[in-house]
Amino acid sequence: MVSLARSASVRPATREEPETLAGLRAAVQACRRCDLYGHATQGVTGEGPAQARLMLVGEQPGDQEDLAGRPFVGPAGQMLDKALAEAEVPRDRAFVTNAVKHFKHELRGKRRIHKTPNTGEVTACRGWLDAERSIVRPRVIVALGATAAMSVFGKPVAIGASRQKAMQLPDQALGVVTYHPSYLLRVPDAVAKAKAYAAFLEDLKFAWGLVA
């Protein structure tokens, strides 16, 4: 099922939003569009083939991603890798990134605890995701969770009601929404966890089917 998503067009790259992934990585390190840079180790941009047909967009880097400078290398990334393998989606053919490029957190003792980015922070960072989309030009973009969906579509999206739908974006990519893999890690009930994971696999298979 294909529906039309109403959101702002992907903006062309500017001098602040370079036309290469290497240039974009350097520019994000100097980003001062919001205050998150002041509390993070570094900015974390996406990685994967420069012309990947599939783009996976998460929320933000976590603690391990912030330290490593790479997206999806922590527990959520391990969950994503496991699901991609089971769904027969080649991980090395996808571009993986986040809606927000700096780690938002609060300190509890020595631990850095994740905090969800607010609308202003997502909006401030959207130009960097737009630049990645302009460079990579994926055929299908999978928004993992509500924050990613807000960034990709430019408006709130109900994940449960929007699954298994391909929504046309202004840049002609198809947008798909599903759960964030960290959500699967938090589901306490074993039966509910298995059901959510099965749905996640279905969504990844659906997105990969659109790539062909």
pLDDT tens profile 106-155: 999 989 999 999 999 999 999 999 999 999 999 999 999 999 999 999 99
d(CA 113, CA 155): 26
CB 89 within 8 A of CB 81: no
Which pLDDT band holds residue 67 (cuts at 50, 70, 90)? very high
pLDDT of residue 7: 43
Helix (H) / strand (E) element for 153: namely helix 146-153
* pTM for this prediction: 0.92
d(CA 104, CA 62): 8
d(CA 39, CA 110): 14
d(CA 202, CA 199): 5
State mean pLDDT over 98-107.
Answer: 97
Burial class of residue 77 in the structure, from the number of CB atoms within 10 Å of its CB (0-12 exposed, 13-18 middle, 19+ buried): buried
pLDDT of residue 212: 78
Give 15 or 92, the one with higher predicted confidence: 92
Provide the number of structural domains found in the chain. 1
**Structure token digits, residue 190:** 């074993």
Residue 14 has pLDDT above 50, yes or no: no
pLDDT of residue 18: 83
Beta strands 111-114 and 140-144 are: unpaired
Segments forming the whole domain that contains residue 168: 2-211
pLDDT of residue 55: 98
Which pLDDT band holds residue 6 (cuts at 50, 70, 90)? very low
pLDDT of residue 48: 97
Of 6-15, 72-81, 124-133, 156-165, the poorest mean pLDDT is in: 6-15
Q: What is the CATH number of the domain that holds 195?
A: 3.40.470.10
Percent of the chain with pLDDT over 90: 90
pLDDT of residue 116: 96
Percent of the chain with pLDDT over 70: 92
